[in-house]
């Protein structure tokens, strides 16, 4: 049993394979968090709720002397009654007040997990692999209910949470804030880890010490964004990759989010995650409900690697869906950096022909194939082929590419509309805008108002028509600007502050329809690179273009940071030309491959511009990746030396059957004085013997993990090498 409700002491114990999460309903009906950590075998840990001396200025709960909700670890605090820390929920009632008081009403425990209406979420494949709990809280005065939902994935050692707010009153109310989860820790001896960056520098690992006050990351951009990923981890001060306590929170959502930690005057650390309350109000009419997105909470006593392994397994197997979830992903070639907008049928087929000779499996035609799009200032929304560029149309091109032995894939940016487009001529009010104000363009484009049903249906139709018109096996779904000038010609004045969330709901609706309609198409998400690399998008599209930055050295940090949360199979990673188009760096082809082959491999260059030697090298790379991709795409990933700490970087993968180990080593710059470089692997079996493939050298697992492999002096900048080991059986 994953969830126990102990009637004797009103204590809830949520157990996974190795963890316990415990809270209690106290006499007043409030939910108090008692424990989250390693599994414990007790349902009687009430004693951990202690009264703490904290002065007399705090208000008493129910006027019970010295019962201070403000210093108690609450499960889902509401505002002002009488906890004055950041609330998880705040609602403006019909009388204009914003204080609510939610207390236990009932609960239900069941095997399985319900779908989250209109939102992406983790799922169970069989009912008996998870257990769920729904706790209903009620504010008697306001006549509102909140249902807190918990699901425990026992074997994946993770707990998911979300909530639903229900308006049982006769009045409409405004939800000002409804976060997905709140966890109060009764100390603040943690560091905070976040994944932050910018365009071309996504998901760098940032670790800071918690301090008094509120620290938060957020997005107000309408998308999860390059700047912050909807993820935080609180880690014990001594936490490393392999040791120490880690508490991870990841929101399955692609829009505006908030993740915050508030260290209060009593050194409690209140941790929250959910939809960003900034510029958000949801008008909830009588009888209506509001569902928050889901958060995945992971505890690991084994450092960051322990946490990453849980997220990787869960996301690969119980978040990603569809025909491609368990399939090896095709090696693709994309024409973007090869041609940009300057291509025609012949040029595309020349690249495709060379690609097929080298064993590449999928050709992806990027931006510029539709409308009058010869640069980035027009035609978004006009999703019909540009016959001047592609004579004979898509069907003929895709069929020709199929005949070369490759699948055909296509780029779209479906959420956008160019002011210079036929679609805009017909529907100038379909974009997000405010009448009378300037419509601010970014890359000469505006955003479709996905809060409107008719716009969503039109997008679905436009894409359906194209996808049916030719043998298209893959879609790259791009999004190249953020939401500004927030206003909708469709929503009424009470609903305008719902637009950002409604946009995301509209997007999810479209994605659900299209991915269900085209079940065999492989969808890859993209947003100017990795600007929307989040768990929400992964539910619909099992891979993401990790960054527009294809430089191998920059990618070391981007991919290493991404691996904190996401498995390699989700991470689109391409070999491109040198000098690199984003940073101008010249790196060896071997290094570019080593970095790209640590994810979901692709190429993004004009093969016709390479010499025979380079093409031969690529042919070997492609063959190598085909031989080992199951290890990379389905194996277990270990970070062993961080690019955030130094000049030499490494990681290794271990195959599902544990017989193959692939270890990557990178040196950024040659150093003047040679230090012994030792490469220590992780995750091997101590007593097993491993042969370094291509040599007669055999090492024990313990030797490779603890003494390590000696790397000779390498007098090469931007150097990478891949070591493959096979376990002797």
Residues near ligand DGJ (CB under 6 A) are 336, 366-367, 411, 478, 480, 526, 528-529, 545, 548
Q: Smallest distance from the beta carbon of 585 to ligand DGJ, in angstroms? A: 18
- Residue 250 beta carbon to ligand DGJ: minimum distance, rounded to whole angstroms: 23
Number of residue whose CB is nearest ligand DGJ: 367
Structure tokens at 156: 């994946």
Pick between residue 21 and residue 545 the one whose CB is nearest to ligand DGJ. Answer: 545
Least separation in angstroms between residue 341's CB and ligand DGJ is: 9
Q: Can you read off the two tokens belonging to residue 586?
A: 């010249």
Cis amide leading into 614 (omega within 30): no
Strand, helix or coil at 519?
A: coil
Closest distance to ligand DGJ from the beta carbon of 174 (Å): 37
Identified catalytic residue from 382, 548, 551, 648 = 548
Distance CA 122, CA 119 (A): 10
Distance CA 155, CA 153 (A): 6
Complete edge-to-edge strand list for the sheet that includes strand 660-667: 636-641, 648-654, 660-667, 719-727, 689-692, 698-700
Give the pair of three-digit tokens for residue 684. Answer: 């091997």
Q: What length does the chain have?
A: 729
Residue (27 or 342) nearer to ligand DGJ, CB: 342
Q: Are 101 and 80 in contact (CB under 8 A)?
A: no
Shortest reach from residue 355's CB to ligand DGJ, in Å? 17
d(CA 629, CA 433): 46
- Contact (CB, 8 A) for 446 and 455: no
Q: What are the φ/ψ torsions at residue 240 (nearest 5 degrees)?
A: -125, -165
CB of 66 to ligand DGJ, least distance (A): 57
CB of 378 to ligand DGJ, least distance (A): 12
Q: Rounded to an integer, what distance in angstroms lies between the CA atom of residue 704 and that of residue 706?
A: 6
Task: Please give the span between the terminal C-alpha atoms of the chain, in angstroms, as a whole number.
Answer: 38
Helix (H) or strand (E) holding 350: helix 345-357
Task: Kindly name the residue from 83, 157, 478, 534 that is annotated as catalytic.
Answer: 478
Cβ-based neighbour number of residue 48 at 10 Å: 13
Residue closer to ligand DGJ by CB (options 300, 562) is: 562
Pairing of strands 257-263, 213-218: antiparallel
| CA angle centred on 293, ends 308 and 538, rounded to 5° | 50
Task: For the beta carbon of residue 616, count every other beta carbon within 10 angstroms.
Answer: 12
Backbone angles phi, psi at 127, to 5 degrees: -55, -40
- Residue 168 contacts residue 142 (beta carbons within 8 Å): no
Q: Give the side-chain half-sphere CA count within 13 A for 308.
A: 22
Measured from the CB atom, the residue of 409 and 683 that comes closer to ligand DGJ is 409
**Helix (H, G, I), strand (E, B), or coil: what is residue 595?**
helix
* Contact of 633 with 316, CB cutoff 8 Å: no
> Pick from 682, 645, 642, 676: which is nearest to 663 by CA?
682
Tell me whether residue 221 or residue 452 sits nearer to ligand DGJ (CB atom): 221
Helix (H) or strand (E) run with residue 556 in it: helix 552-562
Beta carbon of residue 212, minimum distance to ligand DGJ (angstroms, whole number): 40
190 φ/ψ angles, rounded to the nearest 5 degrees: -130, 160
Question: E-strand spans in 124-253?
Answer: 130-139, 144-153, 158-167, 173-185, 190-196, 204-209, 213-218, 228-236, 246-252
Q: How far is the CB of 528 from ligand DGJ (least distance, A)?
A: 5
Cβ nearer to ligand DGJ, comparing 528 with 652: 528
Q: Between residues 283 and 421, which has the closer beta carbon with respect to ligand DGJ?
A: 421
215 SS3 class: strand
CB closer to ligand DGJ, 305 vs 528: 528
Catalytic site residue 478? yes
Residue pair 580/604 in contact (Cβ under 8 Å)? The answer is no
Nearer to ligand DGJ, 258 or 546 (CB): 546
State the minimum distance, in angstroms, from the CB of residue 480 to ligand DGJ: 5
- To the nearest whole angstrom, how small is the minimum distance from the Cβ of residue 509 to ligand DGJ? 23
Nearest residue (CB) to ligand DGJ, 480 versus 621: 480
Distance CA 665, CA 253 (A): 34
> Looking at beta carbons only, is 376 or 703 nearer to ligand DGJ?
376
Specify the residue, 32 or 526, whose C-beta has the smaller distance to ligand DGJ.
526
The least CB distance from residue 324 to ligand DGJ, in Å, is: 20
Q: To the nearest whole angstrom, how small is the minimum distance from the Cβ of residue 521 to ligand DGJ?
A: 17
Phi/psi for 538 (5° steps) reads -65, -25
Three-state secondary structure readout of 254-283: CCCEEEEEEECCCCCEEEEEEECCCCCCEE
| Residue closer to ligand DGJ (CB basis): 257 or 411 | 411
Burial 218-244 (b: 16+ CB within 10 A, else e): bbbbbbbbbbbbbbbbbbbeebebeeb
Which residues are catalytic, by number?
A: 478, 548
């Amino acid at each position: 049993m994953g969830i126990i409700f102990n009637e004797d002491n009103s204590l809830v114990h949520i157990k996974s394979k190795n963890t316990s999460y415990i809270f209690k309903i106290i006499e007043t009906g409030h939910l108090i968090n008692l424990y989250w950590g390693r599994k414990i075998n007790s349902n009687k840990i009430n004693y951990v709720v202690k009264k703490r001396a904290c002065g007399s200025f705090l208000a008493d709960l129910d006027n019970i002397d010295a019962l201070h909700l403000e210093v108690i670890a609450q499960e889902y605090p509401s505002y002002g009654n009488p906890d004055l820390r950041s609330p998880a929920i705040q609602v403006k009632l019909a009388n204009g007040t914003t204080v609510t008081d939610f207390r236990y009403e009932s609960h239900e425990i069941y095997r399985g997990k319900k779908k989250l209406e209109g939102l992406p979420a983790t799922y169970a494949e069989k009912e008996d692999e998870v257990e769920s709990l729904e706790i209903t809280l009620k504010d008697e005065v306001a006549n509102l209910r909140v249902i807190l939902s918990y699901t425990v994935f026992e074997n994946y050692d993770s707990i998911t949470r979300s909530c639903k707010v229900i308006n049982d009153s006769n009045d409409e109310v405004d939800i000002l804030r409804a976060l997905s989860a709140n966890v109060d820790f009764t100390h603040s001896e943690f560091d905070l880890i976040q994944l932050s960056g910018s365009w071309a520098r996504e998901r760098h690992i940032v670790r800071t010490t918690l301090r008094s006050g509120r620290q938060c990351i957020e997005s107000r951009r309408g998308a999860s964004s390059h700047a912050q990923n909807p993820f935080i981890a609180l880690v014990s001060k001594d936490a490393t990759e392999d040791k120490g306590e880690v508490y991870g929170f990841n929101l399955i959502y692609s829009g505006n989010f908030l993740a915050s930690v508030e260290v209060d005057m009593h050194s409690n650390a209140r941790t929250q995650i959910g939809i960003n309350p900034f510029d958000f109000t949801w008008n909830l009419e009588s009888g209506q409900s509001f569902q928050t997105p889901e958060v995945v909470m992971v505890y690991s006593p084994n450092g960051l690697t322990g946490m990453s392994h849980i997220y990787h397994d869960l996301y690969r197997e119980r978040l990603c869906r569809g025909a491609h979830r368990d399939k090896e992903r095709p090696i693709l070639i994309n024409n973007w950096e090869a041609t940009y907008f300057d291509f025609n049928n012949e040029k595309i087929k020349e690249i495709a022909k060379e690609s097929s000779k080298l064993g590449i499996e999928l050709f992806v035609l990027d931006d510029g194939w539709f409308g009058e799009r010869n640069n980035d200032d027009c035609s978004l929304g006009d999703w019909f082929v540009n016959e001047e560029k592609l004579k004979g149309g898509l069907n003929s091109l895709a069929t020709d590419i199929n005949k070369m032995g490759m699948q055909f894939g296509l780029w779209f940016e479906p959420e956008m509309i160019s002011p210079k487009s036929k679609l805009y001529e017909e529907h100038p009010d379909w974009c997000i805008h405010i009448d009378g104000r300037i419509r601010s363009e970014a890359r000469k484009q505006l955003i479709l108002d996905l809060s409107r049903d008719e716009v969503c249906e039109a997008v679905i139709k436009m894409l359906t028509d194209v996808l049916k018109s030719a043998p298209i096996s893959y879609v790259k779904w791009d999004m190249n600007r953020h939401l500004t000038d927030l206003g909708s010609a469709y929503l009424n004045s009470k609903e305008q502050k719902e637009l950002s969330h409604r946009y995301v709901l509209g997007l999810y609706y479209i994605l659900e329809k299209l991915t269900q309609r085209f079940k065999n198409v492989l969808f890859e998400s993209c947003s100017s690179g990795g600007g929307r690399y989040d768990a929400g998008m992964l539910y619909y599209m099992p891979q993401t273009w990790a960054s527009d930055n294809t430089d191998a050295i920059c990618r070391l940090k981007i991919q290493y940071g991404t691996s904190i949360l996401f498995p390699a199979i989700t991470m689109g990673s391409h070999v491109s030309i040198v000098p690199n188009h984003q940073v101008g760096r010249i790196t060896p082809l071997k290094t570019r491959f080593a970095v790209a082959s640590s994810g979901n491999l692709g190429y993004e260059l004009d093969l016709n511009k390479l010499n025979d030697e380079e093409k031969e090298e690529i042919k070997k790379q492609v063959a190598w990746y085909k031989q080992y991709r199951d290890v990379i795409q389905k194996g277990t990933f270990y970070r062993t030396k961080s690019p955030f700490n130094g000049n030499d970087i490494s990681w290794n993968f271990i195959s599902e059957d544990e017989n193959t180990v692939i270890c990557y080593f990178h040196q950024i710059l040659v150093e003047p004085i040679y230090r012994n470089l030792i490469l220590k692997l992780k995750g091997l079996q101590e007593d097993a013997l491993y042969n370094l493939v291509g040599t007669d050298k055999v090492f024990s697992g313990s030797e490779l993990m603890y003494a390590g492999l000696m790397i000779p002096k390498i007098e090469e900048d931007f150097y990478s090498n891949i070591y493959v080991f096979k376990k002797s059986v």
